[in-house]
Structure 1
Amino acid sequence: MPNTMSGIVLTEHGDTDKLHYRDNLSVPTLTNHDVLIRVSAAGVNNTDINTRLAWYSKKEADSSDASWSGHALSFPLIQGADVCGTIVAVGGKVNPNRIGERVLIEPCLQEIDSEKLNPAGYFGSECNGGFAEYTKVADRHAYAIKSHLSDIELASFPCSYSTAENMLSRANVNERDRILISGASGGVGSAAIQLAKARGAYVVAITSADKRQALLDIGADQALTREDDIVAALGESSIDVVIDLVAGQQWPVFLEVLKPFGRYAVSGAIGGAFVELDVRTLYLKDLSLFGCTVLAPDVFGNLIRYLEQGKIKPLVAHTYPLKEIVQAQEAFQKKNHLGKIVLTVTQS
């Protein structure tokens, strides 16, 4: 094994000028329960960008709570939550037969450096992630995958699809449900369409007009544009479950279209973090609201099973070499793509 590697480090919160490519980073040192992974591909997602920008902070001009877990980040930091790669070394208490396995990393972490976490952490936030040639993670969070899909395709799944599956699980989506998905053309939204259809649900997606047909093509039963009058199109009290990744000004409409005893699950706020809630709607309709962050224990295993059974398909919009992470994140933020943007990692 080499002693040094190439990768991208974030030196502090800020714009993309805080991301730096270096070729003299130390290869991670393993603790007893870790595995070392040679990274093949790593996806770009909102979590990495929000972490870089200190978007998670609730304090004015203070980044002491700006990480995924609500604590200050430790810089320099290697980000990257979506990783596909191969195990090349293991810690002292890990079965050496794992060496050579192709794996996906579960990004929501219950263990770092052989220490249990409470609260949970996130890969590339509470510890170094996958924007480098090598990365390490607890053995329990490295899931072997047997699939005909390429490493690039597999790297499009971990963060977005596990987030989507977690939301569907928390909201107990089933074949009798009619569900509404906001932000449906993004990584999590498009994942939620496929995963909800795998459960047999009827899916209504909200997207831009130019992506409407693409969402119908991947399984949505109905697609509305952001400019549509959602209540007029669907009717009041017509939806069993809302899967929300947007929030923002239209948020009250989501509760209006929910049926009595409807379920609302949220895991994003790209349209704005502050919303207007009429509490009367909440209690008079007996609604249940679910904030979804930490993955339930069976979620990532379910995702691996769906992949191996071919029940879900990759949606890779573009690829960039790791050195071009700035261009990749800029393209990601323009939101002109459908699915995922993936960085390829060239081994030295």
Structure 2
Amino acid sequence: MTGVVLVGHGGFEKLEYRTDIPVPRPAAGEVLIRVAAAGINNTDINTRIGWYSKGVTTGTENGATQGFQSAQDADASWSGVPLSFPRIQGADCCGHIVAVGDGVAPERVGERVIVRNMLRCYVNYKPFECWTFGSECDGAFAQYAKAPSRETYKVECDWSDVELASIPCAYSTAEGMLHRAGVREGEHVVITGASGGVGSAAIPLAKRRGAFVTAIAGRDKAQQLLNLGADQVLPRGESIVAKLGKESIDVAIDVAAGPGFPELLDVLKKGGRYAVAGAIAGPIVELDVRTLYLKDLSFFGCTFQDDIVFENLVSYIERGEIRPLVAKTYPLNQIVEAQQDFLSKSRPGKLVLVIPNGESPACLN
């Protein structure tokens, strides 16, 4: 089959487009999916460049082209476990089931599905443990992928494959943050990195909960984020304390961290909540611990997701409560261009790879 293989941590040269990759065979409890589309995500880029290594102390963009010399392979994956190469990345998967392993109902063949990107089946559903699809196991940057049947969800809607492929990673991350922070109707929520995949997902997800949303993004993205449902947009890099005032918001949804972190705590009300699932602006921040305890703030680090998070997303789609913003699509062999555009932050919303159709593999004949 055709696919893109990651052969090691580093720059774009570590992504190899191949046409001779063996088609995976579904084991017991697994399904084989003919992939139709796969989204681009920061986690795929961070894994490629080794950004998760504690040897890296700057933002993603500093090593996005060539990787980080300071990264250590031993802790360069998001889970801290060394990655096995070659690896087919791709946390977002939309496609059709074409074969099933033992113990899976054959009636599943033909279903259009998305795969939960945080897989719990392979770790026996232990609390706060999971694999990432496309990291600890092969993912969606290929014509075929296998996944646990229990974590492969049929979705019935009028969306395109590209739209569905934009959901798993970014939308589950955003929904997971809102879920952990307990965002409620009438609360004021600030969302950083609001023009990116997770940030743009968090806007409509927070609005469906009845929140007032302040989005932080580049000035040129403001109208598009207002169209997504944001109540107001603040230009990235300007003082949010000056714009909003101290102790004015209930929840901060942060994927940026970096130098703007201290002000997020300043604008939180006493008893406010801070949820984080990324650090694209830099992982090392300045924290005055007195702000944390004197304001009775709650911090939520958000990687693991309760089962209900992905199940809720599927229900939101099927009830027509959300709709993704897809900025651009690319053929799979243009994955480098897609990642370059992603890193440029020139387009709000999701960038999605369209996977070429392949002939039926021998295991289906």
Fold similarity call, TM over 0.5: yes
Equivalence map 1:115-264=2 (5 Å): 116=124, 119-264=129-274
Shift of 1:61: 4.2
Q: Please state which structure has a larger fraction of its residues in strand.
A: 1
2:11 is the alignment partner of 1:15: yes
Shift of 1:111: 2.2
Q: Secondary structure at the match of 2:97?
A: strand
The residue number in structure 2 matching 1:301 is 311
Cα contact 2:54–2:71 (8 A) shared by 1: no
Q: Look up the equivalent residue of 1:317 and give its one-letter code.
A: A
The residue number in structure 2 matching 1:90 is 100
Indicate which of 52, 57, 65 corresponds to 1:56: 52
2:321 is the alignment partner of 1:311: yes
Shift of 1:117: 6.3
Q: Look up the equivalent residue of 2:332 and give its one-letter code.
A: L
The residue number in structure 1 matching 2:25 is 29
Give per-residue Cα distances to partners, 1:230-252, cap 9 Å, x unaligned.
Answer: 11111100000000010001100
Tell me how far apart the structure 1 counterparts of residues 52 and 287 of structure 2 sit (CA, whole Å).
21
Between stretches 228-237 and 185-194, larger displacement belongs to 228-237
Cα contact 1:185–1:338 (8 A) shared by 2: yes
Shift of 1:116: 2.6
Tell me how far apart the structure 2 counterparts of residues 234 and 333 of structure 1 sit (CA, whole Å).
28
Q: Please state which structure has a larger fraction of its residues in helix.
A: 2
Cα contact 1:185–1:339 (8 A) shared by 2: yes
Identity fraction in percent: 58
The residue number in structure 1 matching 2:363 is none
Cα contact 1:63–1:72 (8 A) shared by 2: yes
Tell me how far apart the structure 2 counterparts of residues 62 and 328 of structure 1 sit (CA, whole Å).
26
TM-score by length of 1: 0.97
Q: Look up the equivalent residue of 2:335 and give its one-letter code.
A: I
Give per-residue Cα distances to partners, 1:268-317, cap 9 Å, x unaligned.
Answer: 10110000000000000000000000111100010001111111112111
Q: Secondary structure at the match of 1:195?
A: helix
Q: Look up the equivalent residue of 1:145 and give its one-letter code.
A: V
Cα contact 1:68–1:126 (8 A) shared by 2: no
Cα contact 2:6–2:88 (8 A) shared by 1: yes
Tell me how far apart the structure 1 counterparts of residues 93 and 160 of structure 2 sit (CA, whole Å).
12
Shift of 1:35: 0.5
Q: Look up the equivalent residue of 1:146 and give its one-letter code.
A: E
Shift of 1:28: 0.7
Are residues 27 and 273 of structure 1, via their aligned partners in 2, closer, same or farther at CA, if it must alter by over 3 Å?
A: same
RMSD, aligned α-carbons: 1.0
Tell me how far apart the structure 2 counterparts of residues 271 and 61 of structure 1 sit (CA, whole Å).
17
Give per-residue Cα distances to partners, 1:108-137, cap 9 Å, x unaligned.
Answer: 01123xx63653110000000000000001
Tell me how far apart the structure 1 counterparts of residues 44 and 239 of structure 2 sit (CA, whole Å).
33
Cα contact 2:189–2:251 (8 A) shared by 1: yes
- How many matched pairs? 342
Q: Secondary structure at the match of 2:88?
A: coil
Give per-residue Cα distances to partners, 1:179-234, cap 9 Å, x unaligned.
Answer: 10000011100110000000000000101110011111110011100133211111
Cα contact 2:180–2:275 (8 A) shared by 1: yes
> Which ranges of structure 2 fall in alignment gaps of 5 or more residues?
56-69, 359-365
The residue number in structure 1 matching 2:114 is 104
Moved over 4 A (4+): none
Q: Look up the equivalent residue of 1:308 and give its one-letter code.
A: E
Cα contact 2:156–2:318 (8 A) shared by 1: yes
Cα contact 1:247–1:270 (8 A) shared by 2: yes
Give per-residue Cα distances to partners, 1:33-52, cap 9 Å, x unaligned.
Answer: 10000000000010000000
